[in-house]
Amino acid sequence: MTDYLSSKVAIVTGGMSGIGKACATALVEAGARVIVADLKATDATNIDGSLVSIPTDVSRPDECSALIRQALQQFDRLDILINCAGVFADYPALEMDASNWRRVFDVNLHGVFFCSQALKSNPRPTDGIKKPEVFL
C-alpha cells in the first residue's frame, strides 16, 4: 500500500474536516502527496511539503478547473481524486428552503461532477498511467 501510494498525488476535496481530513491524513501517512481543496482552506499553503491546501468552492466549475491547473503546476501529476466536500442540512428535506436545497445539490452532487470533469479534461500521462483514478 505504502509503495503503491508513495509516487502518487491526490486531491481531497473537503479535506479540512471530517471524512476528507481523515482521508488526507491517511494518504500522507501512506506516502502520497496530497492537495486539500476546501472552502475553508485560506491559502495555497505548503504545510509540510506533502500536504498543500488550495481554497476551492467545488460548486463552481471555474474554481474546480483552477484547482486542477494549480495542482498540476505544483506537482506535475495527479493520480487520485477523493470527493469529500459536502454540506449537511440537519433537518427534514421538506422543511428546507429553496436556496438550502440548491446548495446541497450544488456542493454534494454538482461539486463531484465539476471536480471529476475538470480532472478528466486535464490528464497528464505519467508512469504509464493514462488517466487519473477517480474515487467518488
Q: Which residues bind ligand NAD (CB under 6 A)?
A: 13-14, 16-20, 38-40, 56-59, 84-88, 107-108, 111
Q: How far apart are CA 16 and CA 41, in angstroms?
A: 7
Q: Measured from the CB of residue 55, what is the shortest distance to ligand NAD in angstroms? A: 8
Considering the complex, state which of residue 7 and residue 60 has its C-beta at the smaller distance from ligand NAD. 60
Q: Which long-range contacts (CB under 8 A, 24 or more apart) does 105-108 make?
A: 106/59, 107/58, 107/59
Sign of CA pseudo-dihedral 74, 38, 4, 126: negative
Considering the complex, state which of residue 43 and residue 127 has its C-beta at the smaller distance from ligand NAD. 43
Q: Measured from the CB of residue 78, what is the shortest distance to ligand NAD in angstroms? A: 17
